[in-house]
Amino acid sequence: MKKWVLASLLSLFSVSAMAHTVSQAKHMRDNQDVTLTGKIVKYLGDENYLFKDNTGQIVIEVDDDDDERLRHYTGTVTLVGEIDRNDSRVKIDVDSVRKR
């Protein structure tokens, strides 16, 4: 029984750290953790960027601290953040960005 509980807990934690696609992120619950890898396509203003992977595009919100260094970066990045869902709009509230 203890092994089953431990295995269940470990699988829960590994799911939250799992990489996702933009397509999957658009269907996830509000405040759910997400990790995406792709490219920042365009600066939209006011901390917002258009992000894309091979499944689609989504708006991401990046904190001011990371904003300047990403504005002209064209390489691949990995984002870690949460789903921010309001009405029909879904975007990613980014906690960390790692250039690849």
Q: Report the distance separating Cα 72 and Cα 25, nearest Å.
A: 24
The model's pLDDT over 41-66, given as tens digits with 9 standing for 90+, comes to: 999 988 999 999 999 999 999 987 66
pLDDT at 3: 56
Q: Report the distance separating Cα 62 and Cα 48, nearest Å.
A: 6
Question: Do residues 97 and 62 lie in contact, with contact meaning Cβ atoms separated by under 8 Å?
Answer: yes
pTM of the model as a whole: 0.78
Query: Terminal CA-to-CA distance of the chain, rounded, Å?
Result: 42
DSSP letter, residue 69: H
Residue 77: count of CB within 10 angstroms of its CB: 20
State the average pLDDT over residues 63-85.
84
Structural domain spans, the chain? 19-99
Fold of 19-99: OB fold (Dihydrolipoamide Acetyltransferase, E2P) (2.40.50)
